[in-house]
Amino acid sequence: MKVFPKRLNDVWFTEKQTPNMNLSLKITGILRNVETPYQSLMVAESLEYGRFLVLDGAIQITERDEFTYHEMMAHLLLCSHPDPKRVLVVGGGDGGIVREIVKHDVPEEIFLVDIDEEVTRASRDFFPSVSCGLKDLRVTILHRDALDFMKERENYFDVIIVDSTDPVDFAAGLFQAPFYRDVFQALRQGGMMVAQTESPFAEEDLLRDTYKEMSSVFPGVYVAWGAMPTYPTGMWTYMVGSKKEDPRNPLRKVPRETRYYSEKIHHLSFELPPFVKALLGLS
């Protein structure tokens, strides 16, 4: 009698990060898989990174490493702007950046504007440790076009944080000068913005072009970097456009319960490796 080897469930999610590079996670289950009016959305459970959220095939957050991204996106500006009373988050419907913002006492108004309501619903259902800050009474959540919202509030915000998806389809315009001009108009005097600008290894052209686009609008443009393990190559960049203030110098103490961001990390994140300086024409 022939004996067959034991069969094992071996199911993997694979993200195609570049034409020549994939990231694969072994999963134990799919918790949600839907088509929203704007994109495909999936929440799955993995052995290595816990639960993770995928939009249009790209990992957005995982339970294990989301804090590295959200802390950098929030605290680089919240700690360096002298008086960030009005804060806008463009995208970021999962609420991770808002969770970090509400650790600060200074903000009086925090707006989260993400066009896709299903992202926020999925985060509330499956990522309570990420979405918990959405309960703060200072937070207003709007599911609408952020560009239209900004145009209605000229000279209104102190800080704008652009938590966009990858530069494809409707998100491509968020990396170009016309969008940055709208952000500039929505910021008050002394205002600052920050946007995620991908990996210098996987997206050289995008980082270089975005630096040029933002520099054509803002008098001060600064690039920081940090670790983000599940994003392409694990090295991620954050680009700051400032009307006046220098974001490299924190003015405020580190908020409670940070796991990645610190005052020393703040300073060191703006120390760019020589190859990134060369890429941006700064060397």
Look up the CATH number of the domain holding residue 23.
Answer: 2.30.140.10
DSSP state of 121: H
pLDDT tens across 38-52, in order?
999 999 999 999 999
Confidence bin at 102 (pLDDT 50/70/90): very high
Residue 16 pairs in a beta bridge with 22
Q: Is the pLDDT of residue 172 over 80?
A: no
Looking at the fold, whether 176 and 199 belong to one and the same domain comes out as: yes
Q: Is the pLDDT of residue 5 over 60?
A: yes
Looking at the fold, whether 16 and 75 belong to one and the same domain comes out as: no
What SS3 class is residue 101?
helix
Residue 120 located in a structural domain? yes
Q: Is the pLDDT of residue 148 over 60?
A: yes
Looking at the fold, whether 25 and 119 belong to one and the same domain comes out as: no
- The number of distinct structural domains making up the chain is 2
pLDDT tens across 216-270, in order?
999 999 999 999 999 999 999 999 999 999 999 999 999 888 999 999 999 999 9
Q: Is the pLDDT of residue 164 over 90?
A: no
Looking at the fold, whether 17 and 142 belong to one and the same domain comes out as: no
Beta strands in the chain (DSSP E): 11-18, 21-35, 40-46, 50-55, 58-62, 86-91, 109-113, 139-142, 157-163, 187-196, 220-227, 235-242
Q: Is the pLDDT of residue 170 over 60?
A: no
- Give yes or no for a contact between 194 and 239, defined as CB atoms under 8 angstroms apart: yes
Residue 253 located in a structural domain? yes
Q: Is 229 exposed, middle or buried (0-12, 13-18, 19+ CB in 10 A)?
A: middle
- Residue 138: which residues within 8 A CB-CB, separation 6 or more? 102, 107, 108, 109, 110
Q: Is the pLDDT of residue 173 over 70?
A: no
Residue 1 located in a structural domain? no
Looking at the fold, whether 40 and 129 belong to one and the same domain comes out as: no
- Give yes or no for a contact between 22 and 14, defined as CB atoms under 8 angstroms apart: yes
DSSP state of 144: S
Q: Please identify which of the residues 116, 158, 163, 182 carries the catalytic annotation.
A: 163
Distance separating alpha carbons of residues 261 and 264, to the nearest angstrom: 8
Confidence bin at 168 (pLDDT 50/70/90): low
Q: Is 163 marked active-site?
A: yes
Looking at the fold, whether 106 and 35 belong to one and the same domain comes out as: no
pLDDT at 64: 98
Predicted TM-score of the model (pTM): 0.94
Q: How large a percentage of the chain has pLDDT more than 70?
A: 93
